[in-house]
Amino acid sequence: MSDILLEAKALQDEIVAMRRTIHTFAEVGLDLPQTTAFVRQKLTEFGLVPVDCGPGITCQLGSGGKVLLLRCDMDALPMAEETGLPFAAQNGACHSCGHDAHTAMLLAAAKLLKTHESELKGTVKLMFQPAEEQLAGATAMIRAGVLENPKVDAAMALHTAVGREDSTVGCLQYVPGTAMNSGDAVKITVTGVGAHGSTPYLGVDAISAAAHIVVALEEIIAREVPSTDGSVLIVGTIHGGSTCNTVSGSCEMECSIRATSYESRDFLKRRIKEVAEGTAAVYRAKAEVEYVYGMPPLVNDEQVTADMARYSASILPPQDVQQVPPVAGTEDFTDIAAHVPACYFMLGAGSIGEGYTLSAHNPAMMIDESVFYKGAALYAGCAMQWLAEHQ
């Protein structure tokens, strides 16, 4: 067991306590007042100087040389918690994606790095980010200058994985190159002409047009995308009408696109607009397509990923550090990786075989807290080794 892992293990109880405190807050979006106040308090206690950066928080350790950014996300999801845990959030939101654990692990890494600050061969910048679930927090902090003053040379992030066959506790997984799909939210508003149900021919049925659009959109994946492409297009919501005996003059739907490449993403976005507008016109309606928000595929830098995987194998048992295929999720760390060489790792926190059958975004999801010190050690140990090799 490496020295940094032993040091992190001594902080395990403290990491658990921090995670449970953050868990009770379960704040959503860009504004996380209780969570950010707690992070500032802990960083100050550890002898660091927290600095506001847009909606998030940063701080620095070391000085001069190359700059490595360590990032965590802090936000929760807008769903009532169903874990039954004694520290469960009671505010209608919950940490069902593990961001409370990520924050606690990076706080512990900050404490470890402060202990070793005189040994750092460069600068570590910590990034505590809100609104990952909205794919908005990283972009907001980039605009606020998180990658500047000093200029960041490389970045690393950890995310817990749970409720999968391969999310074994303590197993670290990585993907060189394209690691995650893009993610886009698309709103389609169909406008027709309202009419009484006894005279439907006097109206233009927006619901009927919308229903045909849904079917037509499914044909894009079924007939226009290669079977080897893992892209996904779904209609997640549809709302229209006010009474059962009238023809509705309007209907709204929201779609989700997940694409495996920049090219597939551009193709799907273009075809959604063409298919929605064309199908609506067939039924005498109009369709307006709005791209609400989105994020391109996450691409891990090959060299940074190889370096961090090698350092990780000196911290954890080498067999626990595994290269895996890309996953279908979406991450706003993508925006960091688009600006600087970066890598994103998944840390197993409970597999199905270990009894963790619920995955992220389930309000009853739980994670194995025993892995927390390993995450802290990976953050701190990888940072120290990367700076030492790149001074």
CATH no., domain 183-295? 3.30.70.360
Question: In the predicted model, is pLDDT for residue 184 greater than 60?
Answer: yes
State which H helix or E strand residue 51 sits in: strand 51-53
- Residue ranges of the chain assigned to CATH 3.30.70.360: 183-295
CA dihedral of residues 331, 333, 338, 341 (deg, nearest 10): -130
Q: Where are the alpha helices (DSSP H) in 47-174?
A: 99-115, 137-143
Question: In the predicted model, is pLDDT for residue 226 greater than 70?
Answer: yes
Q: Helices H, strands E: what count in the chain?
A: 10, 16
Q: What pLDDT, on the 0 to 100 scale, is given for residue 121?
A: 97
Question: In the predicted model, is pLDDT for residue 94 greater than 70?
Answer: yes
- Residue ranges of the chain assigned to CATH 3.40.630.10: 3-180+297-389
How much is the mean pLDDT over the chain? 96
| DSSP for 359-382, written as a single string | -TT-TT----GGGHHHHHHHHHHH
Dmax (CA) for the chain in angstroms is 81
Place 329 in a pLDDT band, splitting at 50, 70 and 90: confident
Question: In the predicted model, is pLDDT for residue 299 greater than 90?
Answer: yes
Q: What pLDDT, on the 0 to 100 scale, is given for residue 327?
A: 85
Q: What is the DSSP letter of 222?
A: I
What's the whole-number mean pLDDT along residues 94-107?
Answer: 98
Beta strands in 133-192 (DSSP E): 154-161, 172-174, 177-180, 183-191
Claim: this prediction has a pTM higher than 0.85: yes
What's the whole-number mean pLDDT along residues 10-29?
Answer: 98
Q: What pLDDT, on the 0 to 100 scale, is given for residue 1?
A: 52
For strand 250-258 and strand 183-191, is the pairing parallel, antiparallel, or unpaired?
antiparallel
Question: In the predicted model, is pLDDT for residue 31 greater than 70?
Answer: yes
Question: In the predicted model, is pLDDT for residue 293 greater than 90?
Answer: no
Give Cβ neighbours of residue 307 (< 8 Å, ≥ 6 apart).
Answer: 386, 389
Q: What pLDDT, on the 0 to 100 scale, is given for residue 98?
A: 97
Annotated binding site: 97, 99, 133, 159, 361
What's the whole-number mean pLDDT along residues 27-48?
Answer: 98
Class of domain 3-180+297-389: alpha beta
Annotated binding site for Mn(2+): 97, 99, 133, 159, 361
Of 294, 322, 318, 347, nearest to 102 by C-alpha is: 347
